[in-house]
């Protein structure tokens, strides 16, 4: 049996640059893995079946689940149609939250089954397959702190030296946001300001590459945090507005933003101890606002096979 840890991510920066000819948005992002992880286990089966079970009844374990889509893609590419696996998912990352939980599970399936079936694909090959399945998936294979361009699949690793920072993550468990809806709404509202053309895109990428706060991330020069989808999602989603207001009211937080297409929001702290202290101190307010909270360290890696 093989066990794999699949961490969530937050967006320290999500900038919508423009539209691509494939209909996706051209993005400039900084993604950061955090210590809130699902766990997957993989076992060989004698038949050629791929089966998935999950401890969370709210999650579909049908053919559309990214874990099974990843498993089928990997098996199809291998040419060994007799390969089978029984997969179990222990869910900890909230669903539909903007934390790439589904993408990280799919990335974990590529990494776990590559090892279980002895296929010998390199991490770069797995990242290419991941890009076929979802925009955030290559990042989830690599993890840590990365610049992500294109749809999100062009990765440039950043120095992993920010490890003392921590995030207080909050989410209303009754609310989720559809990523296609968020991008569609962004297009409706902002398309007239979108940049056009590769030269303009590259200028913004270069500005992000040379941003002072990224070299390296540290608490005395905290990330300004930018998420262009926040301006689109927050006006339509009361849970995002109340989460942002609450996090902004916490003293000692360095910066506050929504993650991905929401509705999760987070505050950055200089270290895990002060993050946990804020979570304890603000527990009554979080409860009253109906927000679940997690204090998370930052991680320097993505999906990982456990010993
Ligand atoms: O790639 P992924 O499945 O995560 O994307 C979900 C949806 O979000 C896409 O179908 C698209 O509508 C939108 N999207 C986008 N531009 C991106 C990433 C996602 O428009 N860079």
Positions marked active-site: 9, 136
pLDDT tens column, 270-296: 999 999 999 999 999 999 999 999 999
Q: Which of 5-9, 79-83, 115-119, 215-219 has the lowest mean pLDDT?
A: 215-219
Is residue 30 scored above 60 in pLDDT?
yes
Q: Express each pLDDT in 44-89 by its tens digit.
A: 998 999 999 999 999 999 999 999 999 999 999 999 999 999 999 9
Q: Whose CA is nearest to atom 9 of ligand 1?
A: 180
| Distance of alpha carbon 109 from alpha carbon 115, whole angstroms | 10
Check whether residue 58 and residue 10 sit in a common domain.
yes
Q: Give distance in angstroms: CA of 165 to centre of ligand 1.
A: 29
> Distance, CA 249 to ligand 1 centroid (Å)?
32
Domain shared by 12 and 152, yes or no: yes
Ligand 1 atom nearest the C-alpha of 135 is 1
- Residue 212 has phi, psi (to 5 degrees) of -55, -40
DSSP assignment string, 180-197: HHHHHHHHHHHGGG---S
How far is Cα 244 from Cα 239, in angstroms, rounded to an integer?
9
Same domain for 95 and 68, yes or no, is: yes
CA of 237 to the centre of ligand 1 (A): 20
Instruction: Assign 162 a pLDDT band (cuts: 50, 70, 90).
Output: low
Of the residues 126, 159, 192, the one at which a domain ends: 159
Give me the CATH number covering residue 252.
3.30.70.890
| Per-residue pLDDT at 201 | 98
131, 159, 187 - which closes a domain: 159
> How large is the greatest C-alpha to C-alpha distance in the chain, in angstroms?
57
Predicted confidence band at 160 (pLDDT cuts at 50, 70, 90)?
Answer: low
Nearest atom in ligand 1 to 151's CA = 21
What's the 65 CA to ligand 1 centre distance in angstroms?
Answer: 16
**Average pLDDT for the chain:** 95
pLDDT, one tens digit per residue, over 208-254 is 999 988 877 777 788 899 999 999 999 999 999 999 999 999 998 99
Residue 267 has pLDDT above 60, yes or no: yes
User: Which candidate, 127, 74, 138, 76, places its Cα nearest to that of 103?
Assistant: 138
Ligand 1 atom with the smallest distance to the CA of 134 is 1
Query: Measuring from each residue's beta carbon to the nearest atom of ligand 1, which residues come in under 6 Å?
Result: 24-25, 27, 134-136, 151-152, 179-180, 183
Predicted local distance difference test score (pLDDT) of residue 161: 60
CA of 226 from ligand 1 middle (Å) equals 19
- Domain end among 105, 136, 159: 159
How many domains are there within the chain? 2
Closest residue CA from atom 21 of ligand 1: 151
Q: Is 231 within the bounds of a domain?
A: yes
By most ligand atoms within 8 Å of CB, the mutation choice from 136, 179, 190, 261 for ligand 1 is 179
Q: What is the pLDDT of residue 214?
A: 85
Q: Is residue 260 part of a domain?
A: yes
Whether residue 53 is found in the same domain as residue 135: yes
pLDDT at 218: 72
147 and 220 in a single domain? The answer is no
Helix spans in 117-266 (H):
123-133, 137-142, 179-190, 198-209, 230-233, 238-248
Do 11 and 142 lie in one domain? The reply is yes
Q: Supply the range of the domain harboring residue 32.
A: 2-159
Q: Which residues contact 280 (CB under 8 A, 6 or more apart)?
A: none
pTM over 0.85: yes
Note whether 122 and 177 are same-domain residues.
no
């Amino acid at each position: 049996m093989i066990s794999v840890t699949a961490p969530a991510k937050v967006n320290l920066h999500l900038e919508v640059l423009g539209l691509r000819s494939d209909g996706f948005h051209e993005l400039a992002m900084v993604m950061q893995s955090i210590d809130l992880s699902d766990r997957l286990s993989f076992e060989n089966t004698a038949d050629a079946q791929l089966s998935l079970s999950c401890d969370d009844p709210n999650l579909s374990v049908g053919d559309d689940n990214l874990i099974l889509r990843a498993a089928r893609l990997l098996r199809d590419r291998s040419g060994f149609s007799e390969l089978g696996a029984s997969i179990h998912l222990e869910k900890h990352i909230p669903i539909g939250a903007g934390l790439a939980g589904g993408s990280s599970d799919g990335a974990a399936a590529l990494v776990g089954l590559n090892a279980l079936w002895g296929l010998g694909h390199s991490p770069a090959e797995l990242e290419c397959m991941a890009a076929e399945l979802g925009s955030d998936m290559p990042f989830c294979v690599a993890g840590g702190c990365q610049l992500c361009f294109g749809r999100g699949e062009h990765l440039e690793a950043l120095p992993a030296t920010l490890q003392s920072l921590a995030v207080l993550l909050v989410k209303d468990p009754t609310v989720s946001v559809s990523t296609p809806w968020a991008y569609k709404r962004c297009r409706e509202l902002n398309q007239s300001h979108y940049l056009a053309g590769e030269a303009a895109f590259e200028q913004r990428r270069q500005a992000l590459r040379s941003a002072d706060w990224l070299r390296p991330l540290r608490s005395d020069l905290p990330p300004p945090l930018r998420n262009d989808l926040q301006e689109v999602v927050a006006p339509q989603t009361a849970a995002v507005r109340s989460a942002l207001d609450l996090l902004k009211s916490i003293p000692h937080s360095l910066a506050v933003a929504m993650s991905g297409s929401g509705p999760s929001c987070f505050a950055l702290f200089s270290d895990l101890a002060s993050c946990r202290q804020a979570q304890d101190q603000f527990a009554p307010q979080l409860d009253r606002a109906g927000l679940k909270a997690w204090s998370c360290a930052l991680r320097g890696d993505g999906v990982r096979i456990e010993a």
